[in-house]
Amino acid sequence: MTAAPATTAPLNAAAAAAATQQDGAGVFQVDNVDSEVEQPAAPAAAVAPAPAVTAREALRHSFTVGLSGGGATVFSVATMMWLHTIITYQQRHGTKFGETCKILWRQGGPRRFYRGVLPSLASAPLCRFGDTLSNELAMVWFHGQQQRRSSGGGSGTTISGGRGDRVDTKLPVWVATFLGSMGAAAFHAVVVPLDTYKVIMQVDGKEGLAVMKKRIATRGPVAVYDGALAFAGGSLMGHYPWYLTYNLLEQSLPRTRKGEGRSRRARSAFIGAAASIVSAAASNAFRVLKVYRQSHDRPDGLSYAKSIKQIIKKDGGGTRGVLGVFGRGLGGRVAASSLQGLVFNMIWQEMAAWSNDER
């Protein structure tokens, strides 16, 4: 029941004539019948504090969010694989976008653009699952992102990726996000062999499997971890800017309500595109170095120092060569990442809204 506001009401003459006040001396009338008597406001109902979220609840929720993120990535891989193959080839060889398209087409037509799609369908959702799980856990445990349901009744609480009013705050959002990024980078170590195989297939096409077998025969299983350090660095530098931008925008932009599906999707698309542009620009150098090491043609291996020197030399040396380390495939990667981030975040948030019944 809502509290009634304080009001004033004139006392009518009939009521005033009958109104009396009793004291020890007898009965006497109320004077000034035209005066206004202030009615006291009812006390406001006390709001019960939100119950604390246990570690088990936080883990269960974060796992659900991670599954939503991984599921959304399957769609992204299926629709954007051709573009990522072009970008990977550019990062390895330093070719222009149009030139790369012609080369790949001559090597096998449309199928050439989808070499490595199977390991990509396995590794990309796993990576995104680790990304979303790590970020959600960090925001719940370290930032205190306990969320109250923004729509619907009941006194329960939910921890829901940015929906509702944040109740408690511990570490700053940029610190909590960084801790989540460290966890994501560690999780990515699991999928390095799959990622290496995917990159070799994208760069070498149908010869990729033979290249991989030759490396393993020469150096042993450790060969599948070529580029692992750059992969971890790229994961950290890709994850942290993405989720820091995402977390800041989630907290600062006006939130939608239940039933505002179109507005929610537009909001999610904008946040996903913005986060992806920042992430792509920040991590491209690590991606270039990772791809170069993973797809080199030396069975005995290639150090990071030699990889950097070869890239700089091939791209013209000096400042131009250094820019090649940071800029190979950057234009296409920014475009692809923004489009993929737009689609991914929109699908991810829709899946989260569906699981939380907030559509």
The answer to whether the Cα torsion of 92, 93, 96, 98 is positive or negative is negative
pLDDT digit string, tens, across residues 48-101: 444 455 567 767 767 777 777 777 788 888 888 999 999 999 999 999 999 999
pLDDT for the residue 316: 84
pLDDT at 292: 92
Percent residues over pLDDT 70 in the chain: 73
Q: How many CA atoms lie within 13 A of 167 on its CB side?
A: 18
Taking the C-alpha atoms of 152, 132, 239 and 84 in order, what is their torsion angle to the nearest 10 degrees? -110
Angle at 121 between CA 118 and CA 124, to 5 degrees: 135
- The span from the CA of 135 to the CA of 66, in Å, is 9
Is the overall model pTM greater than 0.75, yes or no?
A: no
Token pair recorded at residue 251:
């907290």
How many CB atoms are closer than 10 A to CB 41?
Answer: 11
Q: What is the pLDDT of residues 29-43, one digit of tens each?
A: 444 444 444 444 444
DSSP string of 47-80?
Answer: PPPPPPPPHHHHHHHHHHHHHHHHHHHHHHHHHH
Closest residue by Cα to residue 85 from 63, 62, 101, 69: 101
* Backbone Cα Rg of the chain: 30
- What CA–CA distance (Å, rounded) separates 280 from 332? 10
pLDDT digits (tens, 9 = 90+) for 156-171: 333 444 444 443 457 8
The average pLDDT across 272-289 equals 92
Question: Which pLDDT score, from 0 to 100, does residue 359 have?
Answer: 54
Higher pLDDT, 42 or 123: 123
Domains of the chain, with CATH numbers? 55-355 (1.50.40.10)
Q: Strand locations in the chain, DSSP E?
A: 7-10, 20-23, 26-29, 36-39, 147-148, 165-166
From CA 308, how far away is CA 292, in angstroms rounded?
Answer: 9
